[in-house]
A and B are shown apart, each in its own frame.
Chain A
């Protein structure tokens, strides 16, 4: 990403004497001040949790909220949170759901995009309209009825319930694939067809490999959404053994009641992987959400 050239704009005020210069200095100072303040607003709540997670329970009793821990490497709360909060189990469940949902979403999204963009067939407009209508329905409103359907399918309280829901209600990925598949020239399909390839070979050998950037985008958006989703696992997997990252953390509320040092450690355990992924994949994440949110 390029930084826009400020030199051209700086030229105009410079010719207008001191008071303008002073004013622009003040403006620059205010600009940085606002950024630092906003940064502090974001970081202070997180820092408080991080500091608390490193304190012992006796430190919690006296000391104000933002006090530094005596021992900066006191990981005791993390051990408690990880073991008693059953975070390993949660990580396994979330990974399971993530793997199958993402696999399914990529296959479904790319197949739908392929069928819609590369074939002419009757009722194509109707099919597209169905997907468009579905994208307008906020899934949070329909859970009352979806609950009954999941119940009737017999997947209630299994990990397949969220997998099916994440696969079945993801219109955004279909749009991302559809946008991308339009930029793959049809001449490639035609060439393969002349060589005797059937439509599935074209899909699998030509379209899917060329869709890699779109697949990366979908994996990132979907991955973040699944890791962070609370509503669907909360509603469809009440079983204690089926906690995901979100629901396991939510369950800290009861047993650890007033033990904020353990709850903080649990929250930090959940936030740190997001931070690591964000730092590693920054550029992909910005672009991915930019393309996902505008659909």
Chain B
């Protein structure tokens, strides 16, 4: 049961459940004969509706996965009509490349950033859910970065991080010195991960606010009568109620930090140690024409993402964030 969704769907969802519930619970066994067989619906009708969607699904999602796995066992360069079967060579190559550890090391920065992001989002969602002045203004300001075009975000922060640019100017007011935010290989990933927090914190916050608002107010009243402090209210009322959405955010954060692409690609092009797994894959495929090796890299990433999702389902089996 997704809490935030109820905000948008309340009218239909609330007013219509009786027929819906009745249908799914005791009409279902009779539904087939009563509704469709007797009126003579042709068996192919549903397939007519599914024809285009399934074609697109197969062409642009499932077929690429199959092809990708195939390419990953060959030395294809993406252009020539022929290619050779090389077995597991690409995978061996991939795992023995020194750059491999570098790109996974870079993902750790983004993973760390998403921890910061989720904590900040929880904090701001909690304080913005209670009586506070200029609530909508603050909510709007914190959410707006999520709506900004990625290229524009990249340029805004290229300018922000410039030597002697906005960040250095602001820090100078507080007596801090200059840094090469993007030029220093030890600092660049922290700066880029900071941009990612700036950009995505608001989305997490809005999701959490939606979930917190669907908690029945009586729970707070009961907690207040028992003399619970704000922290205790958060710990024992809010956190357990929004656990599904928190676990979903964590999963999205993990798979998101593995597939970071846009911001580092636009801002640094992957130079200075800021190359991520996806940038590396894209470069292998489209700059170096190593389609086989790039496919192997993409397959590895896909497997990791599927593994993470599977672990989440394993850990939180009942917490699928779905309305059903």
Closest residue of chain B to A216, judged by CB? B8
Given A186-B23, A286-B206, also A267-B291 (CB < 8 A): no
Provide the residues of chain B in CB contact with A39, threshold 8 Å.
138, 141-142
Within 8 Å of chain A (Cβ to Cβ): is B315? Answer: no
Provide the residues of chain B in CB contact with A66, threshold 8 Å.
166, 169-170
Question: What is the CA–CA distance of A77 and B135 in the complex, to the nearest angstrom?
Answer: 35
Within 8 Å of chain A (Cβ to Cβ): is B5? Answer: yes
Provide the residues of chain B in CB contact with A112, threshold 8 Å.
49-50, 53
Provide the residues of chain B in CB contact with A271, threshold 8 Å.
148-149, 152
Within 8 Å of chain A (Cβ to Cβ): is B281? Answer: yes
Contact A270 B151 (CB under 8 A): yes
Contact A4 B45 (CB under 8 A): no
Contact B321 A294 (CB under 8 A): yes
Within 8 Å of chain B (Cβ to Cβ): is A250? Answer: yes
Hey, what's the 0/1 contact readout for B261-283 against A, CB within 8 Å counting as 1? 11000100000000000100110
For this complex, into which size category does the number of interface residues on chain A fall? Answer: 35 or more
Contact B59 A149 (CB under 8 A): yes
Q: Which residues of A contact B (CB under 8 A)?
A: 1-6, 8-9, 11-12, 27, 31-32, 34-35, 38-39, 41-46, 48-49, 52, 64-66, 108-109, 111-112, 114-116, 119-121, 124, 127, 130-131, 133-134, 136-149, 153, 164-165, 167-169, 174, 179-180, 182-187, 189-190, 193, 199, 203, 213, 217, 224, 227-231, 235, 245-247, 249-250, 252, 260, 263-264, 266-267, 270-271, 274-275, 277-278, 282, 284-291, 293-295
Question: What is the CA–CA distance of A69 and B244 in the complex, to the nearest angstrom?
Answer: 48
Contact A144 B291 (CB under 8 A): yes
The smallest C-beta distance from B18 to any residue of chain A, in angstroms, reads 8
Within 8 Å of chain A (Cβ to Cβ): is B25? Answer: no
The smallest C-beta distance from B277 to any residue of chain A, in angstroms, reads 9
Contact B170 A44 (CB under 8 A): yes
Q: Which of B68, B224, B252, B309 contacts A145 (CB 8 A)?
A: B68
Write 6 A-B pairs (CB below 8 A) sorted by A numbering. Answer: A120-B36, A141-B302, A145-B64, A213-B9, A213-B12, A287-B5
Question: What is the CA–CA distance of A108 and B127 in the complex, to the nearest angstrom?
Answer: 40
Within 8 Å of chain A (Cβ to Cβ): is B87? Answer: no
Contact B151 A249 (CB under 8 A): yes
Question: What is the CA–CA distance of A124 and B12 in the complex, to the nearest angstrom?
Answer: 26
The smallest C-beta distance from B265 to any residue of chain A, in angstroms, reads 8
Q: Which of B32, B50, B68, B128 contacts A120 (CB 8 A)?
A: B32
